[in-house]
Structure 1
Amino acid sequence: MPEITVDTPNGPFALTEADGVLIACGWRSGGSDRTPLLQEAAAQVRAYHDGALRTFDLPWRAPGSAFQQAACAYIASIPFGDTVTYAEMAKALNVSAQAAGKGCGGNPLPLVVPCHRVLGSNGLGGFSGTGGIETKVWLLRHEGAAGLLI
């Protein structure tokens, strides 16, 4: 599958394409393919980190169960700089907070589908991306949600 790697403040970030849509991304080294979609995705990741982009406009698909797809669609609807709790996500999807957490943890497209915007009721909650909580904190600060971290 075609893949491109972008340098970010949090380390290399690989984006993977299949059938004309993004299907995975994350903080790791990957390929250097230059399909039109991957070039646009790389440009949008750079623009996000430069502060020039708030919403990714890329075709993507979350492989997995119907629940995982619904969880990713919900997460993708959370605006830049906003946050929700696992409990709020659970209520919206009519599942338990634990199931909502698993939906976040199973997100194959972190950053593009911004699971860092989902928090615990009494803290940050987890983050499955490389760098863990430190990366989540960086992303929240970058989006102006730093008030939540004080």
Structure 2
Amino acid sequence: MNKLDWTTPLGTMTLAADEVGLCGAWFAGQAYFGAGVDLDQATVAATPILRRAAAWLDAYFAGARPAVDVPLHAAGTPYRQAVWTALTAIPYGETATYRDLAQAVGGGARAIGGAVGHNPLSLFVPCHRVVATDGALTGYAGGLERKAALLTLEGERVVAGRLVRA
């Protein structure tokens, strides 16, 4: 396992990868930071996968809409994997609700929320694009201010912790 700390406009992110792909991408201080990965045993190294992930982050924060071309290799239960796959189908600049995901994947809103919250690949698997049915920004492990900033970067209008539709 290798890791790399990368500076973004929203704070430092720790990236972790094995020989297969990116296993984690967490903001400093994020809930569940490093879950499922032994970061203490990881070697600090800018491997090709980690360099690709860092370049993707730079492009994303520069306002580009880069396709995720980094191989992903997150560990999780089959249910969480299904939810994370559904998250990757939410297009840049759009959102889905927990209810939408529950209808697509199965399970209740709480189960969906748990899987979304434990997503180890922040931004690469866009859990920040999930909102409450009423448009409220809820449940982002990286913090609601970051969630609002990410949605704003993608062209959404956020006022007082809620999406505003024109």
Match of 1:58 in 2: 70
Match of 1:89 in 2: 101
Unaligned runs of 5+ in 1: none
Match of 2:18 in 1: 18
Q: For 1:47 and 1:54, locate their aligned partners in 2 and report how far apart those are by CA, in whole Å.
A: 7
> Per the alignment, in what secondary structure is the counterpart of residue 114 of structure 2?
helix
Identify the structure with the greater helix proportion. Answer: 1
Q: How does 1:73-112 map to 2 (within 5 A)?
A: 73-112=85-124
Q: For 1:80 and 1:53, locate their aligned partners in 2 and report how far apart those are by CA, in whole Å.
A: 7
Counterpart contact for 2:98–2:132, Cα < 8 Å: yes
- Amino acid of the residue matched to residue 61 of structure 2? H
CA offsets 1:14-52 (integer angstroms, 9 cap, x no match): 110013201111112987511111111101101100112
TM-score, structure 2 normalization: 0.83
What is the aligned-residue RMSD (CA, Å)? 1.7
Moved over 6 A (4+): none
Match of 1:8 in 2: 8
Match of 2:27 in 1: 27
Match of 2:79 in 1: 67
Deviates more, 1:140-149 or 1:22-31: 22-31
Unaligned runs of 5+ in 2: 30-38
Q: For 1:84 and 1:46, locate their aligned partners in 2 and report how far apart those are by CA, in whole Å.
A: 25
TM-score, structure 1 normalization: 0.92
Identical pairs, percent: 37
CA offsets 1:72-95 (integer angstroms, 9 cap, x no match): 100011110010000000000111
> Per the alignment, in what secondary structure is the counterpart of residue 52 of structure 1?
coil
Offset at residue 54 of structure 1 (A): 3.6
Counterpart contact for 2:56–2:66, Cα < 8 Å: no
> Per the alignment, in what secondary structure is the counterpart of residue 92 of structure 2?
coil
Q: For 2:104 and 2:10, locate their aligned partners in 1 and report how far apart those are by CA, in whole Å.
A: 31
CA offsets 1:119-138 (integer angstroms, 9 cap, x no match): 01121121011xx1000000
Alignment partner of 1:139 is 2:150:
yes
Aligned length: 148
- Amino acid of the residue matched to residue 82 of structure 2? A
